[in-house]
Amino acid sequence: MRLIPCRKIREGMELARDVVTGPPGTAPLLRTGVLLSERYAKALPQVGIGSVWIEDDLGRDIDVVEPLTAETRERVHRATGDALDAARNALRNGAGLPDSVVASLAEVADALVADLLEIPEAALTLDDLGTFDAYTHRHSVQVAVLGLLIARRAWTREGWIDYRGRRRYDRFGDRMRKLGVGLLVHDVGKLAVPPEVLNKPARLTDDEMAVMRTHPEAGVELLRAADLSPLTVSVIRDHHERPDGTGYPNALKGTAIHEFARFAAVADVYDAVTSKRVYSGAVQPHVGVGIIRQGAGTQFCSEVVRHFRAVVMPYPVGHEVTLPDGRRGVVAAVDPLDPDRPTVRVPQGRGIEELQVDMTAPPAVLAEDPGRRAGGARVTR
Ligand SMILES: [Fe+2]
């Protein structure tokens, strides 16, 4: 299967995955196997769907792993939605968040972790959840999936450092659960930010930015009555702190920022820039990966970025890419050890050509010599 933007939908294309616009658990708008028609090219973007998975010759036998089972996805979305509703009520009534809400978040974080332990590294395709574009909790769930996958890699390979400076490999599940809960509600404090600031399509003024920057501490305040672990709280309070001290709310530096919050910062920024937001469009995965890579050591913890790069591929399988020679193709495979040189399928006459392409090569015009095609691309088959 492969992912195409809705504007490229043509008569008779076969849908490879359900299109869901409502909360998980509701009937899909379109079911897998349906033959699309061109009117969907216009109709789907109007309900918040930017792209769809289709099955055709170019995408044949390209398997894309779903990070979460449909059941877990439904549970996670419901629990996150309930938590946000409860926080909204708490804000209105000045009451705390009921313990039951926190307990159910911990339960779904466990389910999330159990699902994520099953998937291979570097198999992440965040567009798996892209059909929830129209759904408000999408960002929380995506950040949780991504942050947990980065943490899984870091902790299983290199363990974690306790307050005495000892490297440890125990309490993995417990830490994953606490991180998961924090990631699911990391932005809960945004409920306290006036909607006209939160949803402003233009650049924020200094005063508006100051209001926006209150959301981490507002989140901690909202959850104060809940019996949350200090590790979970660090995600909510410190996910906008930056190692070079330019973050907020406390301008913490380096390892003064808790590891949990350092995971959250990378997951939060990557998902934000690769998702469509009210104030800017989505960038391609390779641009998002580039932003994180460039920020290593200043905006983001270098160690976390190293693990992120092994988990998030700049050219994910099933995605369309533009080759350095300008042709368009579909990523068929990618080696996590060599992520900038994916194997790409390109329509060639009536057939399909498969090439390993160096995506870092400078853009070039199509050369006559087939061996030099694609500005450094190597024909492998
Ligand atoms: Fe935030």
Span 252-276, pLDDT tens digits: 999 999 999 999 999 999 998 888 7
List, as one string, the DSSP characters of 112-168.
Answer: HHHHHHHSPTT---GGGGGGGTT-TTHHHHHHHHHHHHHHHHHHHHH-EE-TTS-EE
The pLDDT confidence band at residue 24, using thresholds 50, 70 and 90, is low
Region 136-149 average pLDDT:
86
Q: What pLDDT does residue 326 have?
A: 92
Q: Is the dihedral of CA 282, 202, 251, 162 positive or negative?
A: negative
What is the CA(159)–ligand 1 centre distance, in A?
27
Question: 185: CA distance to ligand 1 center in Å?
Answer: 10
DSSP state, 336?
Answer: T
Ligand 1: distance of its center to the CA of 109 in Å? 19
Going from the C-alpha of 270 to that of each of 95, 290, 291, 312, the distances in angstroms are 33, 10, 8, 10
Q: Ligand 1 centre and the CA of 215: distance in Å?
A: 7
In this predicted model, which residue has the larger pLDDT, 79 or 367?
Answer: 79
Q: pLDDT at residue 378 above 70?
A: no
pLDDT band at 63 (very low <50, low <70, confident <90, very high): confident
pLDDT of residue 130: 47
Least-confidence region, from 61-65, 181-185, 323-327, 356-360: 61-65
- Residue of 190, 378, 218 whose CA lies nearest to 278: 190
Give the pLDDT band (50/70/90) at residue 136. low
Q: How far is the CA of 347 from the centre of ligand 1 (A)?
A: 42
How far is the first Cα of the chain from the last one, in angstroms, to the nearest whole number? 20
pLDDT, averaged across the chain: 86
| Higher-confidence position of 59 and 46 | 59
The better pLDDT of the pair 212, 49 is held by 212
Q: How far is the CA of 282 from the centre of ligand 1 (A)?
A: 17
pLDDT at 202 exceeding the cut of 60? yes
What pLDDT was estimated at residue 126?
Answer: 65
pLDDT of residue 199: 83
* pLDDT score, position 198: 86
Instruction: Note the pLDDT of residue 48.
Output: 76
Amino acid at 221: E
For residue 55, report the distance from its CA to the centre of ligand 1, in Å: 37
260 CA from centroid of ligand 1 (Å): 14
More confidently predicted of 212 and 373: 212
Rounded distance from Cα 362 to ligand 1 centre (Å):
36
Confidence at residue 268, expressed as pLDDT on a 0 to 100 scale: 95
Distance (Å, rounded) from C-alpha 160 to C-alpha 260?
11
CB 217 within 8 A of CB 189: yes
Q: What is the reported pTM? A: 0.88
Q: What is the pLDDT of residues 285-326, one digit of tens each?
A: 999 999 999 999 999 999 999 999 999 999 999 999 999 999
The mean per-residue pLDDT over the stretch 118-146 comes to 68
Cα 279 to ligand 1 centre (Å): 15
> What separation in Å is there between the alpha carbon of 129 and the centre of ligand 1?
20
Asked whether residue 22 carries a pLDDT value surpassing 60, the answer given is yes
Q: What is the pLDDT of residue 121?
A: 72
> What is the whole-number distance in angstroms between the Cα of residue 217 and the centre of ligand 1?
10
Residue 133 pLDDT class (50, 70, 90 cuts): very low
What spacing in Å lies between the alpha carbon of 216 and ligand 1's midpoint?
Answer: 6
How remote is the CA of residue 143 from the centroid of ligand 1, in Å?
11
Q: Which single residue is written with the structure tokens 């466990």?
A: 110
Residue 381, pLDDT score: 25
- Ranking 12-26, 195-209, 365-379 by mean pLDDT, the lowest is 365-379
Is residue 377 scored above 60 in pLDDT? no
Q: From ligand 1's centre to the CA of 157, what distance in Å?
A: 28
What separation in Å is there between the alpha carbon of 156 and the centre of ligand 1?
A: 27
Q: Is the pLDDT of residue 149 over 70?
A: yes
Ranking 21-25, 49-53, 244-248 by mean pLDDT, the lowest is 21-25
Span 123-144, mean pLDDT? 63
218 Cα to the center of ligand 1, angstroms:
11
φ and ψ at residue 275, rounded to 5 degrees: -110, 155
Ligand 1 centroid from CA 83, angstroms: 16
Distance, CA 268 to ligand 1 centroid (Å)? 7
